[in-house]
Amino acid sequence: MSATVSAKEAEPTLTLREKRVIRGAAVGQFVEWYDFLAYATLAPILALNFFPAGNSSLAILSTLAVYGAGFFMRPLGGMVCGRFGDRLGRRNILAMTVLLMGGSTLVCGLLPTYATAGVAAPVILLLLRLIQGFAAGGEASSMGPLVLESAPKAKRGAWIAIAFAASYVPSAFAGFFVIGLDSVFGSDAAVQWVWRIPFLFGGVLAFVGFVIRSKVAESEEFVALADKGKLAKKPFKEATAHHKKAMVLVCLIISALAVSAYTINSYMFTYLVNTIGMAQVPATTSTSISVIFIVLTLPYCGKLADRYGRKPLMITGAVFLAVTAYPAYLLCSVGTFSAALGAQVILSAGVCLLGGGGYVTLYELFPTSVRSSGIGFAYNLGYAVFGGTVPFVNQLLVDVTGYALAPSFYLIVVSIVEILVLRIVPETLGSDLKKSLFTSGRTARS
């Protein structure tokens, strides 16, 4: 099989149905991840409102721990929603998860603070984060399969990259949204009550996402399988019994993807403010601009993966991150806006290279019959272990070592592990979505 495709094949005209799939995935991703990431953007303010005053380091660590707890519900959400996604269809699950995410986010904006409700305030906040984590797990189990199975064969990487690029937009949007609110109402008001507005806004967005997703058609791959009566009766059991290798590889591939992505998406703002000592506005601005860089660049890297293969992009990205992690953090430590922006753009380039080939590979490793169940559990388990813990682990490394550049070593280690793992990952470009890459003892496609 050739690792490239012709230009004519790579540029088919999009039908209305295909446009709705891309639009539904992108808008839904924006809504879901705006709701999920609003917490991270507001972490320094939430620490002041939901935990006892007097120990700022403990308060921010507690806030980040609650943030990470949401990730550990993702495997359960992926397992439950993935099973129904393989039995009832992907689009139905996506409509449900956006409402579940939006509802819990709306309630976050209505919570009493520690000063009012005492320990009940952080406990309720934790419960809402767990619900958000469950919804996020369900989103990951069905969004990718729907997009992958609806995409033209020559554009799977690009379509998946567009959907994932949309998941980065909320980080930038939330950042600028918070800056705007702060400039209008002032820092004191932001701490007292303005922090509620982004959460309440997220609840409204969820309804918009639901309406758009309700118009998206089910993937033709899934419909064809259902029409032939070939849907798996127990998809999760089948995935764990017959696709263990794919599930293990997904968890391992996720490591560098999650650590690098959530370094930019969730941790860097807190790092710049609390560790480097930057003001919130320039820290938010540099983080938001770097995220916009990912949004614009990731789809292009997806196109490169469609043209030259998934593995070349992934290997290049992993090597790039391993080499640039320490210099990027060193540049951050200068403490200026331009230095922070330069460092974050460097790391963002690695995210785009790795994600351009990596995101689509994750889904192509499974056959259609168990794709939602297999990816739903493995993907979310990997993100729980490596993604959700990024802010907490990085901040802990700084606190324990007293060395501001300590988080760079974590990224270097997972990037090196990624390079080793990629040696046994099959090239999935052009693969038959209905078949497993690991049947008949094959571990790669030629």
CATH of the domain at 58: 1.20.1250.20
Which pLDDT score, from 0 to 100, does residue 424 have?
94
Q: In b/e form, how buried is each residue of 114-132, taking b as 16+ CB within 10 angstroms?
A: beeeeeebbebbbebbbbb
Which pLDDT score, from 0 to 100, does residue 161 have?
95
Confidence of residue 32 (pLDDT cuts 50, 70, 90): confident
Q: Is residue 146 part of a domain?
A: yes
Residue 212 vs residues 101, 174, 401: alpha-carbon distances, Å: 15, 21, 48
Confidence of residue 15 (pLDDT cuts 50, 70, 90): confident
Q: Is residue 76 part of a domain?
A: yes
> Which tokens hold the place of 234?
């127990």
pLDDT tens-digit series, residues 35-74: 877 887 787 788 888 888 777 777 877 887 887 788 788 8
**Token pair 């567009």 is at which residue?**
162
pLDDT tens-digit series, residues 397-438: 998 999 999 999 999 999 999 999 999 999 999 999 988 777
Confidence of residue 6 (pLDDT cuts 50, 70, 90): very low
Four-residue CA torsion sign, 209, 211, 217, 222: positive
pLDDT tens-digit series, residues 279-311: 888 988 898 899 999 999 999 999 999 999 999
* Residue 150: closest CA among 8, 312, 300, 363: 363
Position 411, amino acid: L
Q: Residue 83: what are its φ and ψ, rounded to 5°?
A: -60, -45
> Which tokens hold the place of 322?
């391993």
399, 57 contact by CB (below 8 A): yes
- Among the residue ranges 190-194, 364-368, 375-379, the one predicted with the least confidence is 190-194
> Which tokens hold the place of 288?
């938001």
Q: Is residue 21 part of a domain?
A: yes
Which pLDDT score, from 0 to 100, does residue 33 have?
82
Distance CA 212, CA 215 (A): 6
Q: Is residue 7 part of a domain?
A: no
**What is the number of structural domains in the chain?**
1
Residue 283 vs residues 219, 318, 334: alpha-carbon distances, Å: 41, 26, 13
Q: Is residue 446 part of a domain?
A: no
Q: Is residue 156 part of a domain?
A: yes
Residue 444 vs residues 173, 222, 308, 382: alpha-carbon distances, Å: 40, 24, 16, 22
Q: Is residue 2 part of a domain?
A: no
Residue range(s) defining the domain that contains residue 428: 15-439
Confidence of residue 11 (pLDDT cuts 50, 70, 90): low
Q: Is residue 6 part of a domain?
A: no
